[in-house]
């Protein structure tokens, strides 16, 4: 049997390849975004604001920066996650459209490739992501080191990484747009244990950054 993988494009984070087999990757990126930084460059819907990092997604990734997408698997069905939908509405909101549309995209692109080990199906994927978010509180972890939302205070980019490393015992990844901290990611093994992230292209900030409050 010959498996053909279709290359569909590149990003700063590496090669994206469509298809492939679920579970064929090296580790997970658990990605959260800061609303006020994200919405500085996007047209966000009113009423989504909250002073906390929110989930972007749980993404299978490879050590070389490549990652699989759109694997074959269970189609998205919001009824499958009805028991945790109220939590998802709060901690995994779409900032630009209906929440279920965002979840469907994340499942189709990333979740379908994530099914391995403790993750057996769609519900497991979303339930595990909620659990990770609740267990490793990025907003609270930064606050422990007085890195707080502010339109005026600045923090050195290394101090943000250092604060989270001290709080959780692993090295995370961060991304900025200009001087705004936009994204923080933890890395997890395929059995969902925290690990230090490898260096990946496109994941860096330099100089002083802000965590805007508006």
Q: Please identify which of the residues 51, 80, 85, 110 carries the catalytic annotation.
A: 110
- Told to judge if 105 belongs to the known catalytic residues of this protein, a careful annotator would answer no
- Told to judge if 110 belongs to the known catalytic residues of this protein, a careful annotator would answer yes
Q: Please identify which of the residues 32, 51, 56, 80 carries the catalytic annotation.
A: 56
CB-CB neighbours of 34 under 10 Å:
23
- Told to judge if 106 belongs to the known catalytic residues of this protein, a careful annotator would answer yes
Question: Which long-range contacts does 132-140 make (Cβ < 8 Å, 24+ apart)?
Answer: 132/30, 132/58, 132/186, 132/188, 132/192, 133/30, 133/32, 133/55, 133/91, 133/92, 134/91, 136/30, 136/168, 136/186, 136/194, 138/32, 138/53, 138/164, 138/184, 138/186, 139/51, 139/52, 139/53
Q: Please identify which of the residues 49, 51, 106, 131 carries the catalytic annotation.
A: 106
Active centre residues (catalytic): 56, 106, 110
């Amino acid at each position: 049997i010959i498996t053909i993988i279709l290359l569909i494009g590149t990003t700063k984070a590496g090669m994206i390849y469509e298809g492939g087999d679920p579970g064929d990757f090296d580790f997970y990126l658990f990605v959260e975004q800061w609303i006020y930084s994200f919405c500085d460059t996007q047209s966000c819907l009113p009423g989504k604001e909250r002073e906390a990092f929110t989930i972007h997604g749980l993404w299978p990734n490879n050590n070389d920066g490549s990652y699989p997408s759109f694997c074959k698997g269970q189609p998205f069905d919001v009824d499958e996650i009805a028991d945790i939908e109220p939590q998802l509405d709060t901690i995994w909101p779409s900032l630009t459209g209906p929440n279920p549309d965002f979840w469907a995209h994340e499942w189709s692109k990333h979740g379908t490739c994530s099914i391995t080990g403790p993750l057996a199906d769609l519900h497991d994927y979303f339930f595990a992501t909620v659990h990770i978010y609740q267990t490793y509180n990025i907003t609270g972890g930064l606050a422990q080191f007085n890195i707080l939302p502010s339109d005026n205070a600045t923090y050195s980019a290394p101090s943000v990484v250092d604060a989270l490393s001290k709080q959780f015992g692993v090295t995370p990844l961060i991304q900025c747009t200009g001087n705004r901290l936009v994204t923080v990611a933890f890395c997890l093994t395929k059995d969902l244990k925290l690990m230090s992230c490898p260096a990946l292209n496109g994941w860096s900030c330099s100089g002083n950054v802000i965590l805007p409050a508006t």
